[in-house]
Structure formats: structure tokens, C-alpha cells
Amino acid sequence: AQKITQTQPGMFVQEKEAVTLDCTYDTSDPSYGLFWYKQPSSGEMIFLIYQGSYDQQNATEGRYSLNFQKARKSANLVISASQLGDSAMYFCAIGGDYKLSFGAGTTVTVRA
């Protein structure tokens, strides 16, 4: 069984500042992937970033970076230089064998 825990239900961040979204996980699979998705109020799920469990380097995609600490079973998302358009719900997910298990999500509100 796989489990994702996101302990921050909501966060406020000032425009142009960085924000870190916490994610911890639990799994018995030796190989797995960690994903972050963004869900704006319109509802669509937008893939942001992926980290494989055997990847040596932390994943980065533009303003998104994933702080992967395997021993601590954490996969925090860092959004740098926040923009108003970053206001959304963010989900951490863990996947093995294609299926994804999602965390409860964190709502991020970017203030001007």
C-alpha cells in the first residue's frame, strides 16, 4: 500500500517569493515515482514534475524543483518566484505500477 501525506491544507505566499509545499510518503515498493500536479479552480490537473526513486539528482522543471530526501521519505515541491497564476491546489502523488495515490492537497494563494 502507498500513502501520501500533505500536512499543509493552505498557504499564502507573496508574489515573487518562493514557497515550499511539504509531502511525505510511505510505500513498500522498492521502485516508485513521485509526482506533483497543479489543479487550478477550473479543475484540470496539470503535471508539474516527476522524481524517480532511484534518481540521484533532484528534479527541476523551470520554476519548480523537487527536494527529494529518500531516507526521510519526503518529496517537497519548491516553487520559486511565485506568480499570481500559481494560485491553485497542489497535489503530491506516488505511483508504482501505473496507479497513483494522491495526498490531500495544499491550496496555495499568491498575494500581489
Partner 1 sequence: GAVVSQHPSWVICKSGTSVKIECRSLDFQATTMFWYRQFPKQSLMLMATSNEGSKATYEQGVEKDKFLINHASLTLSTLTVTSAHPEDSSFYICSASRRDQPQHFGDGTRLSIL
**Which stretches of the chain bind partner 1, using CB under 8 A?**
33, 35, 37, 42-47, 50, 89, 91, 95, 98-105, 107
- Do 11 and 26 contact (CB within 8 A), yes or no? no
CB nearer to partner 1: pick between 15 and 29: 29
User: Can you read off the three cell numbers belonging to residue 62?
Assistant: 523551470
Residue 16 C-beta: closest distance to partner 1, Å: 27
Phi, then psi, of 86 in degrees rounded to 5: -80, -10
Q: Count of CB atoms within 10 A of residue 11's CB? A: 15
CB nearer to partner 1: pick between 43 and 112: 43
CB nearer to partner 1: pick between 58 and 107: 107
- Do 57 and 35 contact (CB within 8 A), yes or no? no
Residue 19 C-beta: closest distance to partner 1, Å: 19
